Structures are given as C-alpha cells and as structure tokens.
Chains A and B, each alone.
Chain A
Amino acid sequence: MAILIQLTRTHTPSWFTIKKQLFSTFRRHEKTIRRSMASDPSTGEPTRFDFLVIGGGSGGLAGARRAAELGAKTAVIENHKLGGTCVNVGCVPKKVMWNAAVHAEYLHDHSDYGFDVENVRFSWETLKAKRDAYVSHLNRIYRNNLDKAKIQTIHGHATFTNDPEPTVEVNGRKYTAPHILIATGGQPSVLSDAEVPGAHLGITSDGFFELERLPKRSVIVGAGYIAVEMAGILSTLGSKTSLVIRQTGVLRNFDAFISTNCTKELQNTGVDLWKNSQVTSVSKKDSGLEVTIVTKDPEKKNDEEKISTIQEVDCLLWAIGRQPNTSGLNLTELGVDTDERGHIVVDEFQNTSRSGIYAVGDVCGKALLTPVAIAAGRKLAHRLFENKKDSKLDYSSIPTVVFSHPPIGTVGLTEEEAVKLKGKENVKIYKTSFTPMYYALTTRKSPCIMKLVCVGKEETVMGLHMQGLGCDEMLQGFAVAIKMGATKADFDRTVAIHPTSSEEFVTMR
C-alpha cells in the first residue's frame, strides 16, 4: 500500500514531462511513450541515456537507482524477472526455505519445552506457494521502485554491437550511454553429458526453487556453501539426503575450525556424507535416477576405487560452483577483458578494460554477495554522477553468513591466511566451544564454536569465525567493530549481554 501511495505523490522530472507533451497524442497508451523513446530500427539511431545498466539484479538495480537519484537518465535491461539471483533464486527464497527448516528443528524441541506437538505433517506445496507469492511481491516492489525513480526498464537480452561508440542492442533496438554498467550476475555451473553421462538429469540451485514436491531421496554434489545450504534444508525438511564431496570436508576455503565443524554437523544432522567421491554417471530408471559414484581415498594409494550407486533418487542437485553470465554480450568484440573463467576483469573502481564500461557483482567473480554488489553499484553511481572521484567499495572484511544447520558467520582472515600473511609468531588465536543455553532443555543439541584471529602486539582482531545457533544475527555488529580495527582489548572492555551466545566473544580468555 505504502508504495502505491508514494507512487502517486512522485513528481515527474522535467525531461519526462517534455516527452509527455511532445507525444501527447499517444497518451492514451502509457507504453507508447516508452516505445517512442526507443530507437527506430529503420534509422539505426540509438536511444541515448546517461547511464545504461545491463542486468536487473541487486547490483544493477542499486546502481541504477542511485544514479537516477543523482539526476542521471537511466535505463535497466533485464531479460528475466527483476531482482536477479538474490530475489528469485538466491538469498531470499533460500532463507525462506532455511526458516522453514528451522521450524522443523524447533518441532523436535517443542515437547522438551512442554508443548504437546504431535503427528506433524509437512506440506512443501503450501510453503512453495507462499514463497513464490513473496518473491512475486518483491518483483513488483522492484518494478515499482524503478518506475518511481523514472528508470526505463527494457526487457530482453542485451548484446554489444560493433558500433564505434559502445552500444547495446535489445530486440533489434539500439541504446547507448557514456556510462554502461554490466551487472549480469552469474548462474550455477553445470556439467555436460560428455563429462558425466546423464548429468543433464540433475538440477541446480535454480531448479531447487522449482521443485513442486519435497524429494524423498536427494543427492547433492559439491562442497561449497550452496551445497551445504541445500543439503541442510532438504535433510532437515525430511528428504533422505546424500552429499557427495571430492575431498574430506566441506567449505574448504573457510577457516579449518569452521570447515571441520560444519562437516561434522552435517553428519550429526543426518546428511549422508560421501567423502573422496565423485559422481561418474547418472541414468534414469522407472523408480527414479540411479547415481553412480566412485570413491577413492587418495591417502590409501593401494586401495581400489570403490564404485557404488544410489538408487531411486528423485533430486540430483549439482552445486559445483557458479559461472558469470557473459555469453551473448559480445564482450571480446567490445574489448572488455575477461579472466580464464569468463569473469569480467575490473579495477578497484569497477572499471573494465574499455573506458565507459563498468562491471559490478557476481559477473566479476569476487565476493559473490548481494550487499557487495549493491554497495559497489552505489559507489560507482556516486563516482560517475556525483563526481566523487574516490568513491569505491572496500572489499576487505566483508562479513558472510552460511545458512547451514546451525548457521555459520565469518568475517576477515582465516587463521591460515593470517599466518601466511603475518607469520605464525604474530598470530594469536582465541577459541571457545559450548552448548548454547537454548539446548539446556532439549534432547537435540548442537554446539556453538567461536574463534578470534588476532594479529600483532595489539592483538588486532582480523578474523572472526563462528558456527552455532544465532550466529547469523550475531555477526553484523562484530563486523562493524572489526572494520574499525577493534583489538582483543576492545572486546574485553565491552560489557556482555546476558544470557546470549554472542557474549562469549567479549568474555573469551
């Protein structure tokens, strides 16, 4: 409601008014005005903007809106739903599913806390319907926000043309601007049938959000955070879930403390973990998919490879990484450099190798996180349209949460990184493990682990890592303090909030 009311209050900027008057004959059709601004394919003369954004995801929309606020005539090109990965097939629906899974955990605890909750059945269909409704609601909000900001939305696939001036073509119409931002994001990587026969029978995290039923038998392939989150959600909601990983632990680029604990917790919560394993083929049977897995412990050189199959799989999910969305953009022709994995190479100011072309977000392959893309997009807008020459995002100490069971929070350096960077003698570690008080009354228990990585004589806290109940909400404030350069002494000086889990960070010895 609030949005609608605001819409009617919004004043029309002058450029729009002029166009409106010029084309007043078409006023019967709102859309005609938009069309009139587009290029005429017969003449090939592109429509000009101040700022052209390719990709209506978190980064692109944030950059576009900020630019428009600063007075730039802006357009966003999107070939799918507005909101990008985060809103449609990422953070938002994922967290909804995680919340649902958390309820499944609570339902185990209710009787311990005195509630008689029995004969509970779960309806995936209900949850999916509500989740989809919420996502559509967000799509509408994004659309309204763009309209409110007088940003033109162009629907379709963007391709750079060979014109001397950087120009984008969408559905046969040309658009140009002195500043063009590429924020096309990424998508889950897939394996070809040549690499793994039958690979196409599996889905990715995108497909996860299309599942109409709770799979009875799931196999997740991958050791990254998406694999961990998907396995946790499916398993907790009641799907018999196997997780196939190539080495012995998940989240291998996290602090070893977290990686080890998370691997253990996955198993504790009932995920069937296949270490040192790879899927070699997938075939379709009447009863579901048959997934063939080869397992070999590299440390036992003399052992034979073990080949096993998992039968009756109704959800095989590849979570083996993400790749940038650059195909079809015609980047090579444009002279925008990409790295060997296809990510657009940018400098600290988000400049690509071609002047006037910028990139933010997942397409750059660095810190694939919504708030990072948003912040980078906004900083860029300030630099381009407010003449703030130094406006750039600081990529250090970016906090991240993994919505595993229990959740993980991490910011700054891992112990390994700190030792490598500063030398073992300059690194001091503080650690604690405990069972959060919530579990005092429950038969289900899950530990909380915490670690501080301190560097130098001052014991500057350069890394904070944790996994446990509530860690998702704990991290943000600590991230602020760490960014400010907080030392262990600052932690010690802070009075605890009792009884919480987070107080353990300020009472650590």
Chain B
Amino acid sequence: MWSIKLGCFCFDLNSFYLSTLLYLRGQFLPRVTAALQASFSSHSCQYKSLTSKWKYDYDLVVIGGGSGGLACSKEAAQLGQKVAVLDYVEPSLKGTKWGLGGTCVNVGCIPKKLMHQAGLLGTAVKDAKKYGWQIPGPIQHDWVTMAEAVQNHVRSLNWGHRVQLQDKKVKYLNIKGSLVNEHTVRGLTKAGKEMTMTAKNIVIATGGRPKYPTNVPGAMEHGVTSDDIFWLKKSPGKTTARLLTWCLSDVALECAGFLTGIGLDTTVMVRSIALRGFDQQMAGLVTDYMEAYGTKFAWECIPKRVEKLSSGALQVTWTDTKADQEHKDTYDSVLWAVGRAPETKALGLDKLGMQLNKETGKIIVGADESTSVPNIYAFGDIGEGRPELTPTAIKAGKLLARRLAGQSTELMNYDNVPTTVFTPLEYGCVGLSEEEAEKRHGKDGLEVFHAFYKPLEFTVAERDANQCYLKVVCERGGDQRILGLHFTGPNAGEVTQGFALGFQCGATYSHLLSTVGIHPTCAEELTKVNITKRSGLDATVTGC
C-alpha cells in the first residue's frame, strides 16, 4: 500500500479512507471509541494513572498544533493517554490564516521547499537548453498557478493532520488556549465562547511568528512576512527581501532564492552578515552563488522607512552604513525576515510566574523540557536555546510524550542536529562550524579537509561551480574525529542526512576515506576529500 509523504509525516491510504468515513459520520463514533479505549486501557494501567484519569479531564493537553505539538499528542495517545490538542491561528497582520499543522506545514518548510523546487526548475529550463533542448521564446512564470498548487497541497496536509488526530484518538479543539494554573487550561473559541479543561500535564508548543522591525515607519503597514509570502494571491512582483541577521534567519535567503528562480527581480538587504550562526565561509559561498544567480544584495544597509506611492509602489528609504549615505528605490513588495518571536502573548504565562528569557521572550526549559511551573512543559521554537527546526520539535515532542506516559526516561539530544538551507545552491551541515570548532579546539587542534568540486550536471550546462564546496572539520590528533561537516551543492539536503547518521555514530576522517565512493555523484566527493587547509594546496578536484 502506497502512503503519501505529507511533509512531516506519512499516512496510509487505507487508514485515510477509514478515518474519512469516521469523520463523515461525525464526532459521535470516535468519541465513543475513545471512551471505550480509555476504559479498556485504564484496566491495564497502574493505579496512579487510573486516579489521574478520574481526577482530570485529560492526561495531557497540548497547546499548539504544529509539528511538535502534533507529534507529542499523537505519541501520547498511542501510549494510551487521553489527549487534547488546542490549535488556533491568529491571522497575520495582512490577514493571512491557515489550518492545522503549524509553521512548517503552512508557512515554513513545506511551501518553502515547494517554491524552492519551482525556483530550481527555473534554472533547469536554462540548463535544458544547454542539454540540447530547443525551447522557444522567453520563459514566463505564472505565480498564481504555482501558489494555488502549493496552497492546495498545504490544505491537503491540514486535512491529513486532522485525519491523523482523529485516527489516533486525539481530541482536536480549534480554540485559543491559555493557562489558568498548573493543571488547568482555558480555551476561547473564535465565537468568544469560553471553556476550561483540566489535565495532569500541560505542554506548550505554540512556536513562533515572524517579527516586524518596529522602528521602521511603514514596515508593518506595507510589508509582508513569511506568514504571507506563500499565500499571496498575486505575484509579489519586484520584491525586496530585507534581511536583518541577528538571528538565524535563513528564511530571507531562501525566499529571495526562489523568487529569483522564478524570474522576479529580488534584492536582499543585509544589515551585517548572512546566515549568522552558520559557518561563515559556507554562508559566503551561498550568497556568492545567489549573486551570480541574479539575486541582488545590498550589504550593510539599514532601512529607514517604507512609503506607499500614489502608483501603489512601495518606496523604501535606507541607509548604506558603509558610506553613510541615504538611498531610495521603489519595489512592489517588501518582505521582512528579521527573525521570529515566540508566540506567548495569549498564554497568560506571567500570571503563573513562568520563567522567560527577558531578551527573547522564550520559555526557559530544562533538559526534560520542563518549565519553572510544575506539570507544564514547553518545547519546539518556544523553548529558550532550542533549534527552530521541525525535526527537533517532532523528536523532542515524541520523547516528551513517552516520558510523561512513564514509558521512557530518554531525553532529547540537541547536539548533532543536521540542517539544510534551501537556497538556490543548497547548503547542508552537521556539527560545528569551523569558527566554533576553532574556538573550542584551537586552530592548531583542527585539521580541515576541503574540496572545490564540479558537479557533473554543471559541466554540460556550463554552469559556474565556484561555490560547490565541501569541508570536513576534524580533530587534528588521534583518529581525527569529525567535528563538523559542511556541503554546498545540488541536493545538499539529501546528501547530508546519511552523513549526519555517520556523524551521530562518531565518524572519523578515516571512516569517510574507507567508504567506497559512488561514481559519478556529488556526495562521493566527501569520501575523496584529501587536501587540508593547512597544506595551502589547491583544493580543486580534477578528473574523476
């Protein structure tokens, strides 16, 4: 039986039909089943759990139906817990709203990757000509066709998530949740109806939302954020994506990348450096590639104001800090990607005295995702110091559910988290950046192997491969354990996953070398890398 990959999860078509039927029959049947299930499972459960079932409405209430919240609630339900998940999407300033599934599904990874694919196909048309295709005329891209297809896919995912919750007997409530005390959650429906529910444990997984620069007049009135870009009804036209990189905002570059790819005139404004927190050599290659690809960059520039002209165009005024000069230009759209803020406003955390990080506003959490308030846990983007990544949220959510159900004591390991930036030239990495490795081990304590390689698909396409690069940062002594692995190139996301597994297993440089390469691929270059930075030799790969 085929299952369909729905971004964050897979589900079986059989159960899809089954649960669709259940759903069509209304809420009644599942509720009965859930009750039956609860009474059955309580017999086999410990006495403590039995009392909790009587004492509280739920074993677990999860606030936030994003990647983490859904994973946590489904896992808990599968372990026999009675679970409710509360999800409510506050529309963006521009009025964009969406369904169940959180940032990743609706306004993050999924629509972004799909539009990234569109951008890559824009490049593929150009390459195809070099590969012998005669394609008449200039290629036009229709935003509406793409956006509608993306949005339809996202809606199918929203539906899929609903079905999954139904399937796994998780109570889904489309209400805005807030905390009353350590066992009580208050919910507010769209219509303003209030309800309260009690739970043995409460999990906050409300994630975050993009920020606006509050000190730029006109920014909020005239700009959009990543909450809106994937849901625009018409092409953003000549877009300027402004990027302030005091957080790990790869979103700006990714958006600018696919907008350029589908043929839009796109400028990225950067206050200081791009991809802060990532290896800066790699970040430089990513942006160099984008510049060659056609994305314009305004480095070290700070926007001052945005005004709407009578023509409807947006006039952006900015300061070039390099020359201390003021500039003006007009754009069709302005996309702000200045970072994300935790979604805590509606939660009423202050009343509970929950400890937050004053600067970021994020909830301070322990290794077991516990907050300063007993029985209340928080994880995902809302947790202080946690990576803002879907897979870590999913994994952390599952592990938390298992611990809360008393099935495991395993904690989430937030080290060794691989990630990929889906810019036109993808960048995948796991482990430490070279800078961070240097800080921890000293320059003399490192051996950095690196290579500039040319993907075979670039040769006939006559594409510049100057930014296709990889480096493996190793300990210098001993068996040269790998501290960080970095790769830019086509399919970097697919390339990196397996190496992340090797990294997790404690791979050394010799493990890479002793693995036979797969020829001709880009990934094989990682098993062939042999030039050290220290040697100063040319790291360009020649021949096979």
- B141 & A400 in contact (Cβ 8 Å cutoff): no
- A2 & B416 in contact (Cβ 8 Å cutoff): no
Query: Of B125, B420, B456, which contacts A117 at CB under 8 A?
Result: B125
- B544 & A435 in contact (Cβ 8 Å cutoff): no
**A residues within 8 A CB of B63?**
none
**B residues within 8 A CB of A107?**
128, 133
B residues engaging A (CB < 8 A)? 1-5, 7-8, 10, 104, 109-110, 113-114, 117-118, 121-122, 124-125, 127-128, 130-136, 139-146, 149-150, 153, 262, 389-392, 394-395, 413, 416-420, 428, 456-457, 459-460, 490-491, 493-502, 504-507, 511-512, 514-524, 526-527, 538, 540, 542-544
**A residues within 8 A CB of B136?**
118-119
- B516 & A371 in contact (Cβ 8 Å cutoff): yes
Query: Of B144, B153, B522, which contacts A473 at CB under 8 A?
Result: B522
A residues engaging B (CB < 8 A)? 2-3, 6, 58, 83, 86-87, 91-92, 95-96, 99-100, 103-104, 106-107, 109-127, 130-131, 134, 138, 141-142, 145, 369-372, 374-375, 393-394, 397-401, 409, 432-438, 440-441, 447-448, 470, 472-481, 483-486, 490-491, 493-506
- B121 & A106 in contact (Cβ 8 Å cutoff): yes
Query: Of B132, B145, B457, B500, which contacts A114 at CB under 8 A?
Result: B145
Given A120-B135, A479-B518, A497-B497, is A130 in contact with B130 using a C-beta cutoff of 8 Å?
yes
- A500 & B493 in contact (Cβ 8 Å cutoff): yes
Give the distance in Å from the alpha carbon of A273 to the alpha carbon of B518 in the complex: 28
Query: Of B142, B413, B518, which contacts A476 at CB under 8 A?
Result: B518
Given A474-B498, A479-B518, A495-B500, is A113 in contact with B456 using a C-beta cutoff of 8 Å?
no
Given A372-B516, A438-B117, A474-B498, is A121 in contact with B133 using a C-beta cutoff of 8 Å?
yes
Given A115-B140, A484-B505, is A99 in contact with B457 using a C-beta cutoff of 8 Å?
yes
Most B CB atoms within 10 A — which of A99, A134, A480?
Answer: A480
Give the distance in Å from the alpha carbon of A307 to the alpha carbon of B460 in the complex: 43
Given A441-B150, A484-B505, is A502 in contact with B494 using a C-beta cutoff of 8 Å?
yes
Which residue of chain A lies nearest to B131 when distances are taken between CB atoms in the complex? Answer: A100
- A126 & B5 in contact (Cβ 8 Å cutoff): no
- B502 & A477 in contact (Cβ 8 Å cutoff): yes
**B residues within 8 A CB of A399?**
515-516, 518
- A96 & B456 in contact (Cβ 8 Å cutoff): yes
Given A6-B538, A473-B491, A498-B104, is A141 in contact with B523 using a C-beta cutoff of 8 Å?
no
Query: Of B114, B501, B538, which contacts A2 at CB under 8 A?
Result: B538
**A residues within 8 A CB of B153?**
440-441
- A437 & B149 in contact (Cβ 8 Å cutoff): no
Given A371-B524, A435-B2, A477-B526, is A117 in contact with B502 using a C-beta cutoff of 8 Å?
no
**A residues within 8 A CB of B420?**
497, 500
**B residues within 8 A CB of A437?**
5, 7, 110, 113-114, 117
Give the shortest distance, in Å, between A345 (CB) and chain B (any CB).
Answer: 22
A-B contact pairs, 13 of them (CB 8 A): A110-B124, A111-B145, A113-B117, A117-B135, A119-B135, A120-B135, A145-B543, A472-B518, A483-B515, A494-B416, A497-B418, A498-B389, A500-B420
A to B contact number (C-beta, < 8 Å): 310
Give the distance in Å from the alpha carbon of A447 to the alpha carbon of B141 in the complex: 27
Give the distance in Å from the alpha carbon of A436 to the alpha carbon of B543 in the complex: 33
- B114 & A100 in contact (Cβ 8 Å cutoff): no
**B residues within 8 A CB of A495?**
389, 391-392, 395, 416-418, 500
- B491 & A499 in contact (Cβ 8 Å cutoff): no
- A117 & B519 in contact (Cβ 8 Å cutoff): no
**B residues within 8 A CB of A138?**
543-544
- A116 & B125 in contact (Cβ 8 Å cutoff): no
Query: Of B10, B146, B512, B523, which contacts A475 at CB under 8 A?
Result: B523
- A92 & B149 in contact (Cβ 8 Å cutoff): no
**A residues within 8 A CB of B1?**
433
- A120 & B544 in contact (Cβ 8 Å cutoff): no
Which residue of chain B lies nearest to A434 when distances are taken between CB atoms in the complex? Answer: B5
Give the shortest distance, in Å, between A18 (CB) and chain B (any CB).
Answer: 28
Give the 10 A-B residue pairs with the shortest CB-CB distance, closest first: A477-B498, A114-B146, A477-B499, A476-B523, A478-B498, A502-B497, A127-B132, A496-B391, A434-B5, A371-B517
- A106 & B124 in contact (Cβ 8 Å cutoff): yes
Give the distance in Å from the alpha carbon of A436 to the alpha carbon of B4 in the complex: 8
Query: Of B460, B501, B524, B542, which contacts A131 at CB under 8 A?
Result: B460
- B515 & A479 in contact (Cβ 8 Å cutoff): yes
**A residues within 8 A CB of B149?**
112-114, 440-441
**A residues within 8 A CB of B5?**
434-437, 448, 501, 504
**B residues within 8 A CB of A485?**
505
Give the shortest distance, in Å, between A257 (CB) and chain B (any CB).
Answer: 14
Most B CB atoms within 10 A — which of A122, A130, A371, A375?
Answer: A371
**B residues within 8 A CB of A434?**
2-5, 10
**A residues within 8 A CB of B109?**
498-499
**A residues within 8 A CB of B391?**
495-498, 503
Give the shortest distance, in Å, between A364 (CB) and chain B (any CB).
Answer: 15
**B residues within 8 A CB of A473?**
490-491, 494-495, 521-523
- A506 & B501 in contact (Cβ 8 Å cutoff): yes
- A106 & B538 in contact (Cβ 8 Å cutoff): no
Give the distance in Å from the alpha carbon of A354 to the alpha carbon of B413 in the complex: 55
- B140 & A116 in contact (Cβ 8 Å cutoff): yes
**B residues within 8 A CB of A370?**
519, 544
Query: Of A83, A106, A475, A493, which contacts B498 at CB under 8 A?
Result: A475
Give the distance in Å from the alpha carbon of A110 to the alpha carbon of B123 in the complex: 11
Give the distance in Å from the alpha carbon of A478 to the alpha carbon of B542 in the complex: 25
Query: Of A91, A130, A134, A481, which contacts B519 at CB under 8 A?
Result: A91
Give the distance in Å from the alpha carbon of A493 to the alpha carbon of B519 in the complex: 29
Give the distance in Å from the alpha carbon of A500 to the alpha carbon of B426 in the complex: 12
Give the shortest distance, in Å, between A228 (CB) and chain B (any CB).
Answer: 17
Which residue of chain A lies nearest to B517 when distances are taken between CB atoms in the complex? Answer: A371
Give the shortest distance, in Å, between B246 (CB) and chain A (any CB).
Answer: 24
Given A131-B460, A473-B494, A476-B521, is A481 in contact with B507 using a C-beta cutoff of 8 Å?
yes
**A residues within 8 A CB of B516?**
369, 371-372, 375, 393, 398-399, 479
Query: Of B104, B457, B494, B506, which contacts A474 at CB under 8 A?
Result: B494
**A residues within 8 A CB of B419?**
497
Give the distance in Å from the alpha carbon of A117 to the alpha carbon of B141 in the complex: 9
- A109 & B495 in contact (Cβ 8 Å cutoff): no
Give the shortest distance, in Å, between A171 (CB) and chain B (any CB).
Answer: 27
- B527 & A480 in contact (Cβ 8 Å cutoff): yes
- B543 & A142 in contact (Cβ 8 Å cutoff): yes
- A441 & B457 in contact (Cβ 8 Å cutoff): no
**B residues within 8 A CB of A3?**
542
**A residues within 8 A CB of B526?**
476-477
Query: Of A92, A103, A145, which contacts B124 at CB under 8 A?
Result: A103
Give the distance in Å from the alpha carbon of A95 to the alpha carbon of B145 in the complex: 32
Query: Of B133, B141, B389, B493, which contacts A103 at CB under 8 A?
Result: B133
- B2 & A506 in contact (Cβ 8 Å cutoff): no
- B132 & A432 in contact (Cβ 8 Å cutoff): no
Give the shortest distance, in Å, between A379 (CB) and chain B (any CB).
Answer: 10
Which residue of chain A lies nearest to B524 when distances are taken between CB atoms in the complex? Answer: A476
Give the shortest distance, in Å, between A24 (CB) and chain B (any CB).
Answer: 32
Give the distance in Å from the alpha carbon of A473 to the alpha carbon of B142 in the complex: 30
**B residues within 8 A CB of A375?**
516
Given A434-B2, A478-B501, A506-B501, is A497 in contact with B131 using a C-beta cutoff of 8 Å?
no
Give the distance in Å from the alpha carbon of A209 to the alpha carbon of B118 in the complex: 32
Give the distance in Å from the alpha carbon of A399 to the alpha carbon of B500 in the complex: 17
Give the shortest distance, in Å, between A275 (CB) and chain B (any CB).
Answer: 23
